[in-house]
Structure 1
Amino acid sequence: MKVELVTSLKRQATKILADLHDSKEPVLITEHGKPSAYLVDVDDYEFMQQRLTILEGIARGERAVEEGKVHSQRDAKGQMEKWLK
């Protein structure tokens, strides 16, 4: 992973962004020697957000199963038929 100082980002934003788009490698921005932010390509960010949404849905489903908040296939089919009318 590439690491850049925040001052470098201020001075060379165009070059850093061009390198980011070419390499698709995230850039860690540091401030006073400490990690401050990640700079990532737009497509990669959107892909990560989509994956996060899917993982959150799976986690909700797992919690529902653990809490017994489930329906039989017959009940679910009956509900779907009502909704689709």
Structure 2
Amino acid sequence: MQKLKINQDIRSLSEVRNGMTNFIKQVHDTKRPVIIIQHGKGVAVLLAVNEFEAMQEKIELLSDIQTSLNQLGKGEGISHKDAKEKVLKRVLK
């Protein structure tokens, strides 16, 4: 996802409602989300599907990493040697 450009990517709900097709094209072309505001407050984000899926994958990976770090912190990890052996056994089957 590209970095947000405040003057182009924050739009009122009425603007988006009246020009939805244009904003969908903008999101697709720029790879940037559009932040939708109502009464001066953010209420929604318009985001391309592929960008949303990429975000989901990153969140899942980061969640897995955090789970692993928590397990290691509790002493539930295994040594590099043991992990390598387990992986090689699965790969070589």
TM over 0.5: yes
**Counterpart code for 1:52:** I
Could you report, residue by residue, the CA deviation over 1:6-28 in whole angstroms, capped at 9, with x for unpaired residues?
11111111111111111111111
TM-score normalised per structure 2: 0.74
- 1:62 paired residue number: 69
- 1:17 paired residue number: 24
Unaligned runs of 5+ residues in structure 1 are none
Unaligned runs of 5+ residues in structure 2 are none
**Counterpart code for 2:25:** A
State, as a whole percentage, how many aligned pairs show the same letter: 26
Count of matched residue pairs: 84
Structure whose alpha-carbon radius of gyration is higher: 1
Pair 74,19 (structure 1): closer, same or farther in 2 beyond 3 Å: closer
Root mean square deviation, CA, Å: 2.4
For 1:75 and 1:40, how far apart are their aligned partners in 2? 39
How far off its partner does 1:75 sit? 8.2
For 1:20 and 1:4, how far apart are their aligned partners in 2? 12
For 2:65 and 2:83, how far apart are their aligned partners in 1? 21
